[in-house]
Amino acid sequence: MNKDNLNRELEVIGKYMISQIRREMTTKNINASSSLYKSLNHNVDEGELTITSLDYGGVILGEGSEPTNKKPSEEMVTRITRWMSSRGMSALARGRGGRFRKQTANTKRMAAYAVSRSILRNGIKGSRIIQSAVNKLEKRIEKGIVEAYKADIMNQLDETLLKINK
């Protein structure tokens, strides 16, 4: 069956979903480096809508993550370091004698490692932005998909009737 109408409707829904997720991210101030914001994308293929983002987008924008006993990866520490810099956070580390150390790349990295380890040990609460966006657009999605399927089925029925009449 030809799914042109359905694919067109899913394309529109995908654009709405991305714009709604971005709007919620801006409202909830979940946009430190803009990399997650810019990575949001949608794709429609064979009657299926897929929304993609950076690999941690599902955790941040979805349900969050459960605690684990894993050690932080280098990539995670690097991302947290970048996030800390974009938020203007600095590491306060004390050296011998209890005096504060100078701010260096190493002290930031140590702080990012501690934050990463805490995230993995305690888990992270997600923002549930994806679910919120789906809930807000639910009626629009339902109505649009039903109409698109109906149009595709009617077109298929017309084509079948034309073939039978020949």
Lowest-confidence pick of 4-18, 34-48, 89-103, 135-149: 89-103
For the packed helices 74-86 and 105-122, what is the interaxial angle rounded to 10 degrees? 110
DSSP string, 33-78: SSHHHHH-EEEEETTEEEEE--TTHHHHHSSEE----PPPPHHHHH
Return the domain boundaries, the chain: 1-64+125-166, 67-122
User: Structure pTM?
Assistant: 0.74
**pLDDT tens, residue by residue, 145-165:** 889 888 888 888 888 888 887
CA distance 33 to 88: 11
**pLDDT tens, residue by residue, 38-94:** 999 999 988 889 999 988 888 888 888 899 999 999 999 998 998 888 888 877 777
Q: Are 54 and 14 in contact (CB under 8 A)?
A: no
